Amino acid sequence: MFIETLFTEPIYFFRIIIIVIFSISLHELAHGWAAMSQGDNTPQKTGHLTLNPVVHMGKESIIFLCLMGIAWGQMPVNPSKFRSPKLGNILVSAAGPLSNLTLGIIFVLMLKLIANLSFSAFFSAEFLYLAARINLTLFLFNLLPIPPLDGFHVFSEIFPKLKPLENTYFGIFAMMLLFIIPEFGIGLSGIADLLMRLMFGGESVNF
């Protein structure tokens, strides 16, 4: 289990915890801000426009993150309040993954800054690399067209025939398969590494 990393690689363990909590909190906030821009004030009314990670993730998610390395978040929204239900649902759903993509790009740019200006004394290149990799992986994962992931809500608005899947066990079954197949996580991380190499102009950025 992931918790074993605390005893074998404590620095790595706490880096993962900090990065994931920060990234998921901003992911959920992005959903909330997008919902507000579409006319839904539910995030504000429920007190979810905050940086408090416990509000966005809940204690159970944070505990599960520490034990298993898996976490989730939530942002209450009311699609019926969107000015345009179809467009609003696409924009609000896409906002979360796009926030992770943005964070990934920012961390890669910070890595480039370190490489070009030798600021490594002030910043940890390993931490920035890990933060970029995690956020790009979260971006890719959340775009999968599987309920309840954001990608499903985006694609089901573009392809309405997918909508009935939301009320079936397909999502639960698919998610279980993804988590028990190690190659899946390795594959997503590999694609994230490829994106980072492309951002670095083809150079390797492993640390």
Evaluate if pTM is beyond 0.85: yes
Contact 191, 131 (CB under 8 A): no
CA–CA separation, 22 and 161 (whole Å): 35
CA–CA separation, 62 and 188 (whole Å): 22
Active site residues: 28
CA–CA separation, 71 and 64 (whole Å): 6
CA–CA separation, 106 and 20 (whole Å): 16
Per-residue pLDDT of the chain (207 residues; tens, 9 = 90+): 899 999 999 999 999 999 999 999 999 999 999 999 999 999 999 999 999 999 999 999 999 999 999 999 999 999 999 999 999 999 999 999 999 999 999 999 988 887 666 555 445 888 999 999 999 999 999 999 999 999 999 999 999 988 898 888 888 888 888 878 877 878 888 899 899 888 877 666 655
